[in-house]
Amino acid sequence: MAINWFPGHMVKTKRQIKENLKLVDAVIEIRDARIPYSSANPDVEELCKGKPRLILLNKSDLTDSRVTKDWIRHLSKEDVRAIEVNCLKGEGIKNIKPILMELLKEKHDRLKSKGLVKIITRVMVVGIPNVGKSTFINRMAKNNIAKTGDRPGVTKSKQWIKTSIGIELMDTPGILWPKFEDEEVALSLAFTGAIKDEIMDIEELALKLVDRLQTLHPELLKARYKIEELSEEPLETLNSIARKRGAIVSGGEIDYNRIAVIILDEFRGGKIGKISLEEPKKTSLEESENISLEESENISLEEPK
């Protein structure tokens, strides 16, 4: 399944991140807790080396909590911490400042030893589109300073946002990367809405999602759509779901566009169940960092013509 998307503003954003890192003390990277591996932009991993980093696994209310906790253990190391949050409801947000202070303790101790009393912590917020960056910033600022939307690419330019807890946030637009390591990464991003539906074949995308779900979470799929048995063929399962939901046109034919929209919306809204599409034991962020993006040939993200 070909997925092609690399808007020009994302090239500019990558340059902005590199240029502005010297202005901040730390980086907050927001990922989608359903796909912590696929929603980790390897360009950001490389660009932010040397800066303390806090990874927020957002939308954790939609995930299998056991898997999310495994990811937290997997991602946390000396200069990186990971926590689960729900930016929409504010869950886990109170843990952000203490962890940032822990990561920056050595730097703050040096500043205090030089007589500096009031220390403002400046943090850059990064992440791919549609992971909840604007929702997080609005929660921290307690108002709607950052634009929000249910479509990727809503945030357009850098902003500085002050908060009531002594932290200033630098917002940046969400960026994807020019090439993916493999098709599974691209599909995970498309399933969760990080790639615009407008450029996708959503009927094929929904079929791929059904295939993934009946492999990873067959019981949830059966329970949601009241199907006794799943077919070995994802298309037959999709047809069964369509019939159960009445996605039928005249003559008894399946309305594939309608059922595709239903399945994607219900997955993204958590109605099928608490689903984690990736587990740390099945993927390796460390391995992905060693793969040259130029050598990745499966899927190329380019500006659509």
Residue 200: C-alpha distances to residues 1, 257, 270 (Å)? 9, 12, 21
Flag whether 52 is in a domain.
yes
The DSSP element (H or E) to which 123 belongs, if any, is strand 121-127
pLDDT, tens digit (0-9, with 9 covering 90-100), for 32-74:
999 999 999 877 778 888 899 999 999 999 999 999 999 999 9
Taking a C-beta distance cutoff of 8 angstroms, is the pair 126, 158 a contact? no
Q: C-alpha dihedral over 235, 298, 14, 133, to 10 degrees? A: 20
Taking a C-beta distance cutoff of 8 angstroms, is the pair 174, 128 a contact? yes
Bridge pairing between strands 80-84 and 167-171: unpaired
Give the pLDDT of residue 302: 39
Give the pLDDT of residue 43: 79
Q: C-alpha dihedral over 289, 293, 295, 298, to 10 degrees? A: 100
Bridge pairing between strands 167-171 and 159-162: antiparallel
pLDDT, tens digit (0-9, with 9 covering 90-100), for 246-287:
999 988 899 999 999 999 999 999 999 999 999 997 554 444
Flag whether 135 is in a domain.
yes
Q: Residue 1: pLDDT band by 50, 70, 90 thresholds? A: low
> Residues annotated as binding site for GTP?
58-61, 130-135, 174
For the chain, how many structural domains are there in total?
1
Rounded to an integer, what distance in angstroms lies between the CA atom of residue 53 and that of residue 275? Answer: 26
Flag whether 284 is in a domain.
no
Flag whether 264 is in a domain.
no
Residue type, 262: I
Flag whether 65 is in a domain.
yes
Where in the sequence is the domain holding 137, given as residue range(s)?
8-180
Flag whether 93 is in a domain.
yes
Flag whether 110 is in a domain.
yes
For residue 70, the domain's CATH number is 3.40.50.300
pLDDT, tens digit (0-9, with 9 covering 90-100), for 156-206:
445 679 887 789 999 887 776 655 667 888 899 999 998 888 888 999 999
> Residues annotated as binding site?
58-61, 130-135, 174
Give the pLDDT of residue 246: 95
